[in-house]
Amino acid sequence: MEFMIYFWLGVVVVALVVEALTVGLVSIWLVPGALVAMLLAIFKLPLSVQIPAFFLLSACGIVLAKTLFRRYLHPKASVKTNVDAIVGSRAVVTERVDNLSGCGQVRVDSQIWSARSIDPDIVFEVGDVVSVMAIEGVKLICK
């Protein structure tokens, strides 16, 4: 039964080495379970107690970590930055926007952008206020 002490110690070492190599919280959850199983082996409890204790504690560690880290791994709302922040904002037409002639510019937050209408039949005149619906390349698609 002394072999099991070294076996569980080996599981701890392998799990720590794998964790150190991956740095992705892959195998760290096995360490507490293996340490408790090793402790049970030291007290000469049978293998039928050690193995379930190992799996139960490892599973509890995974579940606990998932609930604790959920907020950090999957944020509910991400903050839009750079170009993504422009979508949904309002813009002022500085040059007539006409899809048929392929011209048009708008100003968004003191930046001038080429613009096209989301509907090819609609033309925007200078001074119109439009909403930015999407970005295609370097052109704002407006409505």
Phi-psi region at 132: left, alpha or beta (left = phi > 0; alpha = psi -120 to 50): beta
CA distance 83 to 121: 26
Using a 10 angstrom Cβ sphere, with 0-12 exposed, 13-18 middle and 19 or more buried, the burial of residue 58 is buried
Same structural domain for residues 55 and 103?
A: no
pLDDT digits (tens, 9 = 90+) for 72-91: 766 665 666 677 789 999 99
Same domain for 68 and 7: yes
pTM of the entire structure?
0.51
Name the pairing type of β-strands 139-142 and 111-117. parallel
Give 15-25 pLDDT, tens digit per residue.
Answer: 999 989 987 77
Same domain, 67 and 101: no
81 domain residue, yes or no:
no
24 in a structural domain: yes
Domain co-membership, 50 together with 108 = no
64, 93: one domain = no
Residue 43 in domain: yes
Domain count of the fold of the chain: 2
Q: Which domain covers residue 35, as residue numbers?
A: 2-73
- Radius of gyration of the chain measured on its C-alpha atoms: 30
Per-residue model confidence (pLDDT) at position 89: 92
Partnered with residue 142 across adjacent β-strands are 117, 132
Q: What CATH number does the domain containing 134 carry?
A: 2.40.50.140
As a whole number, mean pLDDT of residues 105-115 equals 94
**Residue 80 pLDDT:** 63
Tell me the pLDDT tens digit for each residue of 46-60. 999 999 999 999 999
